[in-house]
Amino acid sequence: MSMIEILTIATATILGLFAGGMLTEALLLVPYFRSLPAEEFYRQHHDFGPRLYRFYSPLTIAATLLPLTTALVVVIFYPRNFGPSVLVALLNLSILSTYFLYFRAANLSFAQQRLTAIELERELRRWSAVHNFRTTLAIASAVVSIFAAIKVASSL
């Protein structure tokens, strides 16, 4: 197995894990947290927020850096096959950007317990919508990364 095959398979694997984690959060954790009264949400967020951050931070970093590295290698060494790999990298940069554009401030407002019960309900609805958007991007990225790996492997 060539180095590029290993790299594209590793990328698809990490992105599959990332998409699975995001989907689990979207289908299990987010609905649960949204169902809680504000006081209980803040109590549980205090306990689980840092744990979720420690889990998702390295996974998000890997799900960004590995596709970028793969795209760069494919563009340089396999330029005829660059399309899917570049698309995967762009999708994952988009996912990462949601943290800086929205989630960092929203999560801080939860940690600081700044929102009233009504504001919290609205913010959790928005949080869920943005999370569902990035989960959709993560699933698309994982699927495209499989096609990228197949395309590169079939061209060797």
The DSSP result for 96-140, as a single string, is HHHIIIIIHHHHHHHHTT-S-HHHHHHHHHHHHHHHHHHHHHHHH
The predicted pLDDT at position 53 comes to 93
The predicted pLDDT at position 26 comes to 98
Say how far apart CA 147 and CA 136 lie, in whole Å.
17
Tens-place pLDDT, residues 6-43:
999 999 999 999 999 999 999 999 999 999 999 999 99
Decide if pLDDT at 140 tops 90. Answer: yes
Query: Assign residue 116 a region: left if phi > 0, alpha if psi is -120 to 50, beta otherwise?
Result: beta
Tens-place pLDDT, residues 67-108:
999 999 999 999 999 999 999 999 999 999 999 999 999 999
**% of the chain with per-residue pLDDT over 70:** 100
Contacts (Cβ under 8 Å, ≥6 apart) of 124:
30, 33, 34, 41
The predicted pLDDT at position 156 comes to 83
Q: Can you list the positions of beta strands (E) in the chain? A: none
What is the pTM assigned to this prediction? 0.95
Of 109, 102, 110, 108, nearest to 126 by C-alpha is 102
